[in-house]
């Protein structure tokens, strides 16, 4: 069974740029959730995708957007990057919006 994978591992961008992060869900899972974890804090929910539709969103501005593809993999896009967007971005997969979410290793984004 393949676990959740994310790419890239690390990324450095400058303020104002755009970034795309990628996530492949665990085999058999059709739901992907994205979280932002700032240094020293717990993860904060960004949004969830189920069957290629956004299924819920946390308190993040519209410049955070996402996609889910027919194979259930997902992308997180962030436009107009700000310094405070520097964080570990975590993707989690689950089955049918179920509440057991399994996390990938994360993408560390640094905005300079």
Q: Residue 48 interacts with another protein (CB under 8 A)?
A: yes
The residues facing 109 across adjacent strands are 11, 87
How many angstroms separate the Cα of 84 from the Cα of each of 36, 43, 90, 95, 96? 11, 14, 16, 31, 32
Q: Residue 41 interacts with another protein (CB under 8 A)?
A: yes
Choose between 16 and 56: whose C-beta lies nearer to another protein.
56
Choose between 17 and 45: whose C-beta lies nearer to another protein.
45
Q: Residue 27 interacts with another protein (CB under 8 A)?
A: no
Cα separation of 41 and 26, whole Å? 25
Q: Residue 60 interacts with another protein (CB under 8 A)?
A: no
Instruction: Work out the burial of residue 62: count CB atoms within 10 Å of its CB; fewer than 13 is exposed, 13-18 middle, 19 or more buried.
Output: exposed
Cβ of 19: how many Cβ atoms within 10 Å? 18
Determine which residue in the list 24, 25, 30, 43 makes contact with another protein, applying CB under 8 A. Answer: 43
Q: How many binding residues for another protein (CB under 8 A)?
A: 27
* Binding residues vs another protein (CB under 8 A): 4, 6, 31, 33, 35, 40-45, 48, 50, 55-56, 58, 90, 92, 97, 99-106
């Amino acid at each position: 069974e393949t676990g959740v994978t994310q790419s890239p591992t690390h990324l450095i961008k400058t303020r104002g740029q755009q970034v795309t992060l990628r996530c492949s869900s665990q085999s058999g899972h059709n739901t992907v959730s994205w979280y932002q974890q700032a240094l020293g804090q717990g993860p904060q929910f960004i949004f969830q995708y189920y069957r290629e539709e956004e299924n819920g969103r946390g308190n993040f501005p519209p410049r955070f957007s996402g996609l889910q593809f027919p194979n259930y993999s997902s992308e997180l896009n962030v436009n107009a990057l700000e310094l405070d967007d520097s964080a570990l971005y975590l993707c989690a997969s689950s089955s049918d919006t179920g509440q057991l979410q399994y996390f990938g290793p994360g993408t560390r984004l640094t905005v300079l």
